[in-house]
């Protein structure tokens, strides 16, 4: 099947300020394009410590991989609860060396700290999602996120655009390669245990996904003088099957998830990885495990880095709810579609909560 090609389009996105440069300029007023409408603004109490989602489950992967049968089943049950009630969990003892987490963090920060002219050698063209810039901006009046992004397609190799792989910092490419191999193995393990938690064969997703798609996105959120007016990243669900997020050490609080209609902050656990269910799993399980809307908020004094890996089926895979999850009590909620078509739809629309998944929803009217 032909690769997902995104032609640079003639869409007009207007001037997009680089937020690190804005920060350096010590501006007294936030440019209007970053100021959210009232309904979208994060209320300051939502950023306070009292609103931490202390309830986000923590999964100890070593108990599943190396534990005795008791530990295995208890942890799988926790995983099931995490996926059913939260769509998010933190993984500890994930098997990835702390030195690896530190290397990718250093590489990412060394990149974001390069002069703007250097970073702009790898521009994210309007309407595309790879390179340095702001993704998901499609019009001149669209509000902007208080975030600089750098994203690359990793697997399969045909998604790679060599012109967008930075030559500086010196070990950047190599570090991404090694890190992404480790995260891919982790994703495979997690998909296996998620399948088991659903009562399915462990290999079912791996067999279904083919040569799985993998992409990395680094998000850098500088401090913002008015965190009450802006968003670091607009609310969205991930179009992947699974997403693995690493937060920079000492990063401020920033990730918030929508739980029972309230935005709750995810409290970082040092060296843990945050995992969330994406739209693909929601469709395959007919909504039993849901992709959860999330966003990022900013901090007045502290910056924040997140390194995000998206893991998804190959673009030629046809998806739809698995028969095991459809019956009289759980009627079918999504139509069958091609994941490549969903990807095109996803990357050509702005981030807007769970709206993107309407692509696959079967209307009940």
Single out the segment in contact with ligand LMOEUUAE by CB under 6 A; choices: 77-85, 192-200, 236-244, 327-335: 236-244
Residues 203-262 that bind Fe ion (CB under 5 A): 238
Single out the segment in contact with ligand LMOEUUAE by CB under 6 A; choices: 27-35, 38-46, 174-182, 231-239: 231-239
Binding to ligand LMOEUUAE by residue 215, rule CB under 6 A? Answer: yes
Binding to ligand AKG by residue 219, rule CB under 6 A? Answer: yes
CA 315 to chain centre: 18
Binding to ligand AKG by residue 296, rule CB under 6 A? Answer: yes
Residues 247-276 that bind ligand AKG (CB under 6 A): 254-255
**Partner that binds at residue 209, options ligand LMOEUUAE, Fe ion, ligand AKG, none, CB closer than 5 to 8 Å by kind:** none
- Tell me how far, at minimum, the Cβ of 365 lies from Fe ion, in Å: 30
**Residue 8 to residue 125: CA distance in whole angstroms:** 6
Binding to ligand LMOEUUAE by residue 219, rule CB under 6 A? Answer: no
- Tell me how far, at minimum, the Cβ of 279 lies from ligand LMOEUUAE, in Å: 7
Site residue total, Fe ion (CB under 5 A): 1
**Partner that binds at residue 205, options Fe ion, ligand AKG, ligand LMOEUUAE, none, CB closer than 5 to 8 Å by kind:** none
Binding to ligand LMOEUUAE by residue 145, rule CB under 6 A? Answer: no
**Residue 103 to residue 248: CA distance in whole angstroms:** 11
Binding to Fe ion by residue 155, rule CB under 5 A? Answer: no
Residues 320-359 that bind ligand LMOEUUAE (CB under 6 A): 342-343, 346-347
Residues 305-334 that bind ligand AKG (CB under 6 A): 306, 308
Closer Cβ to ligand AKG, 175 or 291, answer by number: 291
Residue of 154, 233, 273, 292 interacting with ligand AKG (CB under 6 A)? 233
Q: Cis link prior to 273 (omega < 30° from 0)?
A: no
Binding to ligand LMOEUUAE by residue 213, rule CB under 6 A? Answer: yes
Residue nearest to ligand LMOEUUAE (CB): 239
Binding to ligand AKG by residue 238, rule CB under 6 A? Answer: yes
- Which residues contribute to the site for Fe ion (CB under 5 A)? 238
């Amino acid at each position: 099947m032909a690769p997902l090609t995104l032609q640079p389009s003639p869409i007009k996105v207007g001037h997009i300020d680089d937020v690190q440069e804005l920060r350096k300029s010590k501006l007294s007023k936030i440019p209007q394009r970053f100021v959210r409408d009232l309904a979208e603004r994060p209320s300051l109490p939502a950023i306070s410590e009292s609103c931490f989602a202390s309830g986000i489950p923590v999964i100890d992967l070593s108990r599943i991989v190396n534990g005795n049968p008791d530990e295995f089943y208890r942890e799988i049950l926790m995983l099931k609860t995490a996926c059913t009630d939260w769509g998010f969990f933190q993984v500890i003892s994930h098997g990835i060396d702390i030195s690896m987490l530190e290397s990718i963090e250093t590489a990412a920060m060394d990149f974001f700290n390069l002069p703007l002219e250097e970073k702009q050698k790898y521009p994210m063209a309007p309407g595309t999602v790879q390179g340095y810039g702001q993704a998901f901006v499609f019009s001149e009046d669209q509000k902007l996120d208080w975030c600089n992004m750098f994203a690359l397609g990793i697997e399969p190799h045909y998604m790679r655009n060599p012109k967008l792989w930075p030559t500086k910092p010196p070990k950047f490419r190599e570090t991404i390669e090694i890190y992404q191999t480790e995260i891919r193995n982790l994703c495979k393990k997690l998909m296996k245990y998620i399948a088991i938690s659903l009562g399915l064969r462990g290999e079912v997703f791996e067999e279904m996904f083919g040569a799985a798609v993998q992409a990395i996105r680094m998000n850098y959120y500088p401090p913002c003088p008015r965190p009450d007016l802006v968003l670091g990243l607009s609310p969205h669900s991930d179009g992947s099957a699974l997403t693995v997020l690493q937060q920079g050490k000492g990063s401020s609080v920033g990730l918030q998830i929508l739980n029972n209609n309230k935005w709750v902050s995810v409290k970082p656990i040092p060296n843990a990885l945050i995992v969330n269910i994406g739209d693909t799993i929601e469709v395959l399980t007919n909504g039993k495990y849901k992709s959860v809307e999330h966003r990022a908020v900013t901090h007045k004094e502290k910056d924040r880095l997140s390194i995000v890996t998206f893991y998804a089926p190959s673009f030629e895979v046809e998806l739809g709810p698995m028969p095991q999850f459809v019956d009289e009590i759980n009627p079918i909620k999504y139509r069958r579609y091609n994941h490549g078509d969903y990807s095109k739809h996803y990357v050509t629309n702005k981030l807007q909560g769970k709206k993107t998944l309407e692509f696959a929803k079967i209307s009940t009217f």
